[in-house]
């Protein structure tokens, strides 16, 4: 049976690949269940995994929730929001690589990323309004935190698409690259993160999450009093750094 999400892990980089190209990678119940299983593995691996890449096969990143399953019974209430939150809160940085359409539920999935890379073919849209729906997977919270409240309102109220270049301009995507370079740029960034101190990167992500909504003074105090301190590999890294210089 073909996996709906392919999972690979090499060189401390975990790659999750949505694999329903014929259905434009729509988010079915079976796909969510596979994602939950992969999150179990990533969480169990801990610091053995440095960074997680989320991408997809085919010309479309994700068309959103599989609306053909409107009557499907999910394992427990609020199942999907729970999985989305787990993904966003992984201790590892998450890079999301988007090509083609990234719509509604697909955009909510992409917004879990710490870094979003868009190809020139990318098209982001929130189409909840088209189907008389309202978000439950984080759109109203994560989108304005990326692009600002009033730009988020424009995107959600109109349902109009945002191109890859426009996504970069407004901060929805960190970078927009040619389609044929998306995989290369994504893996180069993943390798750069993997080469950093695991201690530092994981501590940074924890701080960024905890301080997201704190006033400046409270955030500064949080950083001081919740520091993880030096990593055990500090001396080794300092020695290597001076050796290279």
Per residue in 225-242, pLDDT (tens digit) is: 788 777 777 777 777 776
If you write DSSP's letter for every residue of 104-127 in order, what string do you get?
A: THHHHHHTT-SEEEEETT-EEE--
Average pLDDT estimate for 68-80: 75
| Helix ranges (DSSP H) in the chain | 29-45, 79-88, 105-110, 139-147, 149-158, 164-170, 182-195, 198-210, 216-225, 234-244
Q: Hey, where are the domains in the chain?
A: 5-195, 198-244
Q: Would you state the pLDDT for residue 216?
A: 85
Pairing mode, strands 13-18 and 51-56: parallel
On whether the 5-195 domain is CATH 3.90.700.10, my answer is: no
Per residue in 44-54, pLDDT (tens digit) is: 999 999 999 99
124 vs 244, which has greater pLDDT?
Answer: 124
Query: What is the band of 36 on the pLDDT scale with cuts at 50, 70, 90?
Result: very high
Average pLDDT estimate for 131-160: 97
For 218, other C-beta atoms within 10 Å of its C-beta total 11
Give backbone dihedrals phi and psi of 44, rounded to 5 degrees, phi first.
-65, -35
Q: At what angle do helices 198-210 and 216-225 cross, to 10 degrees?
A: 140
Q: Would you state the pLDDT for residue 226?
A: 83
Which distant-in-sequence residues (6+ apart) come within 8 Å of 101 by Cβ? Answer: 24, 60, 61, 62, 63, 123, 125
Average pLDDT estimate for 177-205: 97
Handedness of CA 43, 47, 51, 55 (dihedral sign): negative
C-alpha 123: how far from its chain's center?
A: 16
């Amino acid at each position: 049976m073909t996996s709906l999400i392919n999972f690979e892990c090499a060189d401390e980089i975990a790659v999750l690949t949505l694999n329903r190209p014929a259905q434009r990678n729509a988010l079915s119940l079976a796909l969510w269940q596979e994602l939950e299983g992969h999150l179990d593995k990533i969480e169990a691996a801990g610091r053995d995994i440095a960074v997680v890449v989320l991408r997809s096969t085919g010309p479309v990143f994700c068309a959103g929730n599989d609306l053909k399953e409107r009557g499907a019974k999910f394992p427990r209430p609020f199942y999907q929001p729970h999985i989305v939150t787990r993904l966003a809160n992984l201790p590892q940085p998450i890079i999301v690589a988007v090509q083609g359409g990234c719509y509604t539920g697909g955009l909510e999935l992409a917004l879990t990323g710490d870094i979003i890379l868009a190809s020139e073919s990318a098209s982001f849209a929130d189409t909840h309004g088209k189907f008389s729906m309202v978000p439950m997977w984080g759109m109203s919270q994560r989108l304005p935190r990326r692009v600002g409240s009033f730009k988020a309102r424009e995107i959600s109220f109109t349902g109009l698409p945002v191109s890859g270049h426009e996504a970069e301009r407004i901060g929805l995507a960190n970078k927009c690259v040619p389609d044929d370079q998306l995989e290369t740029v994504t893996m180069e960034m993943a390798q750069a993160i993997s080469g950093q101190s695991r201690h530092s990167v994981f501590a940074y992500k924890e701080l960024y999450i905890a301080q997201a909504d704190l006033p400046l003074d409270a955030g500064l105090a949080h950083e001081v009093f919740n520091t993880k301190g030096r990593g055990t590999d500090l001396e080794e890294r300092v020695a290597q750094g001076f050796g290279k210089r």
